[in-house]
Chain A
Amino acid sequence: MKWEVWSGWLLWAALMTAILLSLGWGARPQILGLFLASGLAAGSLYALGGIGIVLLYRTTGVLNLSCGAAGAAGAMTTWQLLEWGWYPPATWIIGVLLSLGVTLFYGIVIAPLLAWRDTVVKAVATLGYALIILGLVAFIWIDEPRKLSLPTDSMAIKLMGMRFTVTRLIVIGASVGAVTAIWAYLRYTNMGLQMRALANDRDHSALLGIPIRRVETVAWTISGAFAGFTGIMFADLIRLEVVVITFMVIPSIAAAICGRLENLAVVLVAGISMGVIENLLTLSPTLKGVRPIAPFVIAVIVLFWLQRGKRLTFAERA
């Protein structure tokens, strides 16, 4: 068991080094640093999205495909309020709260109606919710070039020859911090204990008298806040476009898959690796155009790796 874990990480380190060397070979260090920095930030966003998805999935059994759309709603709101000249920190908070509210609405009103359905059906239903949000947001803010910037964009520090804007540092820090915080929360708090129990076995948890609805509400709240934060950061760092932010859920899913939809640390590492590889592919003349596919290719390879030696028997308990 232990050896498997170690060999997994060793394999990852070896592969990562090989990819970094082969892609970065011969490139000017500054350029390399530039892509590495932006890759770390983009990857952290994938990881953040993935962490929110996994946390919610483990506690409630709902794989929420609408978190990208909720993030887009939050980001657009923040942009709009900034346009109207609101006090910036207030706009950020309102943006996150909006995503949170949108997500929580689903969790409280719609998700219970599907509580006993198949996992796939639950996931599909969130797709419908994503379309509703996407349609409304696209209806309110018609598609045109927009930009969202945070004051932290113009602050920067140099680290090992790489220039990091503070926004990027915040995102990277947030992803690492989120994993640590969630880990500590699950381990040391009562609510965390109940969440773990729920993730383990819903029926038994109910029998044990764990307040399922309350625990689930907490999970929806946390994942909603994640969606909002990720959406706004994505809008700042990558692009403020409703459809693009909505579909940021796909690379997040890719990161989540690498962690088997359960291991947050692996989701974090996978997300960041994907971002880095994707950005470094810019250096490859042949693969430059299709570099956004990198996360999916990685996730598919990981899937093959995960199912090696596995035999198709009983469908596992979802």
Chain B
Amino acid sequence: MAKITLSKLRHSYYPNPKGPEDFALRDIDLDWRDGGAYALLGPSGCGKSTLLNIISGLLMPTEGRILFDDKDVTAHSPVERNIAQVFQFPVIYDTMTVYDNLAFPLRNRQMDEVMVKSRVHEIAEMLEVDDMLSKRAAGLSPDNKQKISMGRGLVRKDVNVVMFDEPLTVIDPHLKWKLRSKLKELHQKVRATMIYVTHDQTEALTFADQVVVMQDGDIVQIGTPVELFERPTHTFVGHFIGSPGMNLLPCEIRGGGAYFNDARIALEGPLISGGRGKNQVGIRPEFVSFGKKGLEARVKKVADVGRHYVVEAIIGDTSINAIVEQDAPEQGEKVHLNFAQSHTRVYRDGWIATQLPEAGR
């Protein structure tokens, strides 16, 4: 188990990078405490796999340092860093049995056979593969193969960090949730530092204590799943997390207030002054409700998603989604929208531009 620090990390796949657009990772500074479960969330191409490979040592960063427990490991190989990585598709040694697969990393480190045996059985039990230990790895189903890949990562007790690179990609949907919960369970038992890379917000939010959201090589926000949902500090986070994502309404700033269609919008707190840029009001559909007074809108579409309704309303050119549990309005109906003030914010060029009121955190 180790504390991981990333310091001023930048990486480019080009030999002579010129501008910021040549960098896959730009200025990453991060601290991960020991034993936590972390997720790296972001769309394809945002740099999360690059970051993962830099942490594991499979890739040398163009600039910056990586520290495990305050020790600089930037020049160390994966073996020296003592990490484990689970890939998108199961990587197992086909010709070996399940037992030999799990034992492989231990035997390579010259561990005594008795200890190997006990350790392998321990992990196999945890993963519920102990009944297939003598089977050849090649004949198993993908989810079992992936379990064994994970097992190989966890079998070493002293592993510093276990990394998962979109490990559920090849798993059948109905088995995904099983493996997800198994992973969470494993983390609670093993208490190793785990980093989980994914583009799926459900996976990230259920697994992690803390989520790092990335976009285009930058870290956009770090926080607990609740924080990310309740108070996104970037429009990307607001839009990427939540289904549907946060509503964004173009607005004007006049005299310290925000105006949308000439109606003043009540915000969570005072506006951060200064800076020019595109201003938008952000409010999650969960916090939009219907009432007798409020912004006038017309209902365009109502979708019944089972547990709730998603109502799409239009004001002029702007589309606003709202989530209601019951009493959804009819299509074409004229409604009045209310925004919960504590969750209404302004974003300037994507970044949050309102502050929380003094009383509170």
Q: Do A and B bind each other?
A: no
Using CB atoms and an 8 Å cutoff, list the residues of chain B in contact with chain A: none
